[in-house]
Chains A and B, each alone.
Chain A
Amino acid sequence: MVVYVSNDAGSNWTELSGLNRPNASATPKLAVGPLLGTPLKSSLWLSYSDSSGARAAGIEVRNAGTSNMGPTWTGPTTLPSSGSSVFTSITVGPTGEVAVAHVARSVSPPTVYLAVNTNGLGSTNFLNQASAAFALKYGDENFPVNAGLSMPPIPTLDWDRARNKLYIVYPDRPATNSVNDTDIYVRYSTNKGAAWIPASGSNGHKANTGAPLSTEFHPRLSVDQKSGFVGVVWYDGRQGAAPYTNAWLFASVSTNGFATAQPRNFQVNPARSSADVAVRSYKEYIGLRYQSGFLYPAWLDNSNYKANAPTPTNQFEIYTSRIPF
């Protein structure tokens, strides 16, 4: 795994050295902190997993340009309770503090953990927030909507820095005996993960409004830092019928910071994708940014909605969209 940085919107990339190129690492995620102090400085944080579990590392960003990065990475730090964690999500708060969520899948029940470093680049100390140990009702299980392959529950974080609200989204079953029924749950914290609304132990606020017995999965959450609106997208099987192998991209936007559950859902792509062709899985792949009044999702899609898919047309393409909200 290598980290590259670009200063010209992606035309040119330069390797960011000093990370020791960790071996056998997977699922890297990046987050950039706010500009703080005099002179202004920011931070770049990386989370990933390897054979030791989930890790996090940060580096100072003094100004634009690789020559002003560094001088050295902080960490990488192995996060507590992450020995079986593969998938991480990382975000940076208003004063440079860092939160990393990961799901430990080999414990029973599978559990979402949140580790917080309250001193940012000034520390390598990530501590679990006990109130953010969200016990899940499923782990590595196979679902028809994902071609009968594993569909791990993966959390995503984002921090509304202006209003100091830390959000987490993850999929879960409504009940342990639910069959092919998963929902999208959102919680938020105003004290860096020490306490959550809704509290741990209850289900979170549901983002989806789909009927029971439908599979909603792989959510991503992003906050528009200007408005504080919270966008969520996910793959949704609500319009399917047995054997429940079709999915559509759905979205919702909370305009009150998820003070209330289930903001109105809307369908981004009217055409279905299907993972039932030759065992093709969505894995954990989906992306979202919410910036200045527009949602920018990116997702796997083999609906051939644009009618321009190369042959064979059932292979996954990456679709994106610019949705005003």
Chain B
Amino acid sequence: MRVRWAAKGIQFDGNAGVNVTHTLSNSIFDQCQIALQNNLPSGSVALSNVKQCGVANAIAGSGIYTGTMAFDCGIANASVSTDHQLEPAVAVNPSNPTLPGVEVPLSWWSM
């Protein structure tokens, strides 16, 4: 599940004394105000492979949860070198941007 631009990505509510474990898995929250609103006074939420990017408040509420919401804005190495790598530039093919069309011409030298 991918949730983008939500004020609240997902909310769990429950009654006191109801001990149920919910699982939130294989999800990413982009640019949300709150990713997870956890209002479970007795139960809990288990997070499994849940990621966030640009989320203002990852987990709100006083409920119990396990696991983490990993930070993932899709960061990748544009190059790997044993020397300093400098001066990146980015170009995207506007006619086909859905492919991994990032071009990163770069130069590197010792400083």
Listed in ascending order, the chain A residues whose CB lies under 8 Å from chain B are 9-10, 225, 251, 264, 266-270, 279-281, 283, 285-289, 291-292, 294, 296-300, 305-306, 308-311, 315-325
Contact pattern, B 75-99, Cβ under 8 Å of A = 1, otherwise 0: 1111111111111111111100110
B80 touches A319 (CB 8 A): no
Distance in angstroms between the alpha carbons of A299 and B75 in the assembled complex:
11
Distance in angstroms between the alpha carbons of A321 and B94 in the assembled complex:
17
B88 touches A283 (CB 8 A): no
Beta-carbon nearest neighbor of B4 in chain A = A324
A280 touches B92 (CB 8 A): no
B64 in contact (CB, < 8 A): no
Distance in angstroms between the alpha carbons of A289 and B93 in the assembled complex:
10
- Report the minimum CB–CB distance from A244 to chain B (whole Å): 21
List which B94-110 residues lie within 8 A (CB) of chain A.
Answer: 94, 97-98, 100-106
Listed in ascending order, the chain B residues whose CB lies under 8 Å from chain A are 4, 30-31, 53-56, 71, 73-94, 97-98, 100-106, 111
Cβ contacts under 8 Å, B106 to chain A: 298, 318
Partner of A323, one of B73, B97, B105: B73
Chain A interface, >50% SS class: loop
Distance in angstroms between the alpha carbons of A308 and B79 in the assembled complex:
11
A297 touches B90 (CB 8 A): yes
Distance in angstroms between the alpha carbons of A285 and B101 in the assembled complex:
21
Residues A298 and B78 in contact in the complex (CB < 8 Å), given A9-B103, A324-B30, A325-B31:
yes
B88 touches A318 (CB 8 A): yes
* Interface contacts beyond A266-B56, A320-B90, A322-B100: sample of 8 additional A-B pairs, CB < 8 Å, sorted by A: A285-B86, A285-B88, A298-B106, A308-B80, A309-B80, A310-B80, A311-B82, A320-B76
A315 touches B84 (CB 8 A): yes
- Report the minimum CB–CB distance from B68 to chain A (whole Å): 12
Count how many pairs of residues, one from A and one from B, have CB atoms less than 8 Å apart in the complex. 129
A288 touches B53 (CB 8 A): no
Cβ contacts under 8 Å, A320 to chain B: 75-78, 88, 90, 102, 104
Partner of A266, one of B31, B75, B98, B104: B31
Cβ contacts under 8 Å, A311 to chain B: 82
B74 touches A322 (CB 8 A): yes
Beta-carbon nearest neighbor of B102 in chain A = A296
Residues A317 and B77 in contact in the complex (CB < 8 Å), given A266-B54, A280-B111:
yes
Cβ contacts under 8 Å, B111 to chain A: 279-281
Distance in angstroms between the alpha carbons of A166 and B92 in the assembled complex:
20
Between A279, A305, A316, the greatest number of chain B beta carbons within 10 A of the residue's beta carbon is seen for: A316
Cβ contacts under 8 Å, B75 to chain A: 268-269, 305-306, 319-321
Beta-carbon nearest neighbor of A6 in chain B = B103
- Report the minimum CB–CB distance from A94 to chain B (whole Å): 15
Partner of A318, one of B31, B56, B78, B100: B78
Beta-carbon nearest neighbor of B98 in chain A = A292
Distance in angstroms between the alpha carbons of A61 and B75 in the assembled complex:
34
A298 touches B88 (CB 8 A): yes
- 23 of the cross-chain contacts (CB-CB < 8 Å) are A9-B101, A10-B103, A264-B54, A268-B73, A269-B73, A269-B75, A286-B88, A289-B90, A292-B92, A298-B78, A298-B104, A300-B85, A306-B75, A308-B80, A309-B80, A316-B84, A317-B81, A320-B75, A320-B77, A320-B78, A320-B88, A322-B74, A324-B53
Residues A323 and B53 in contact in the complex (CB < 8 Å), given A300-B86, A318-B104:
yes
B92 touches A296 (CB 8 A): yes
Residues A291 and B94 in contact in the complex (CB < 8 Å), given A296-B102, A317-B77, A318-B79:
yes
- Report the minimum CB–CB distance from A14 to chain B (whole Å): 15
Partner of A292, one of B89, B97, B100: B97
Cβ contacts under 8 Å, B74 to chain A: 321-323
